[in-house]
Structure 1
Amino acid sequence: MARVRLSVEERREELLRAAIGQIEARGVASVRIADVASALGVSNALVLYHFSSKEKLVAAAFTHAAEGDLAHLRGLLGRRTSALRRLRGAVRWYAPTGQAKGWRLWIEGWAVSLREPALRDVARDLDRRWKAALTEVIAEGVAAGEFRCPDPAGAALRLTALLDGLAVQLTSYPGAVSRARATEWVDEALARELGLTPEALTGRR
Structure 2
Amino acid sequence: MARVRLSVAERQRELLRAAVEQIEARGVAAVRIADVAAALGVSNALVLYHFSTKEKLVAAAFAHAAEDDLARKLLGRRTTALRRLRAAVRWYAPTGQAKGWRLWIEGWAAALREPALREVTRDLDRRWKAALAEVIAEGVSDGEFSCPDPQAAALRLTALLDGLAVQLTSYPGSVPRARAQEWADEALARELGVARERLTGRA
CA distance in 2, matches of 1:117, 1:123: 10
AA of the residue aligned to 2:36: V
Q: How does 1:6-21 map to 2 (within 5 A)?
A: 6-21=6-21
How big is the alpha-carbon RMSD for the aligned residues of Structure 1 and Structure 2? 1.1
For residue 141 of structure 1, what is the aligned residue in structure 2?
Answer: 139
Q: Offset at 1:151?
A: 0.6
Aligned length: 203
Gaps of 5+ in 1: none
CA distance in 2, matches of 1:160, 1:44: 38
AA of the residue aligned to 1:142: V
AA of the residue aligned to 2:197: E
Aligned with 1:197 (options 180, 195, 198):
195
For residue 60 of structure 2, what is the aligned residue in structure 1?
Answer: 60
Q: Offset at 1:177?
A: 0.6
Aligned with 1:130 (options 128, 131, 139):
128
Gaps of 5+ in 2: none
> 4+ runs of 1 displaced by more than 4 Å?
none
Normalised TM-score (structure 2)? 0.97
Aligned with 1:74 (options 58, 61, 72):
72
Identity of matched residues, %: 84
Q: Offset at 1:66?
A: 2.1
AA of the residue aligned to 2:54: K
Aligned with 2:81 (options 80, 83, 91):
83
Kept after mapping to 2: 8 A contact 1:149/1:195: yes
Kept after mapping to 1: 8 A contact 2:28/2:110: yes
Aligned with 2:171 (options 161, 164, 173):
173
Normalised TM-score (structure 1)? 0.96
AA of the residue aligned to 2:164: L
Q: Offset at 1:52?
A: 1.2
AA of the residue aligned to 1:201: L
Q: Offset at 1:48?
A: 1.0
Q: Offset at 1:115?
A: 0.5
Q: Offset at 1:199?
A: 1.5
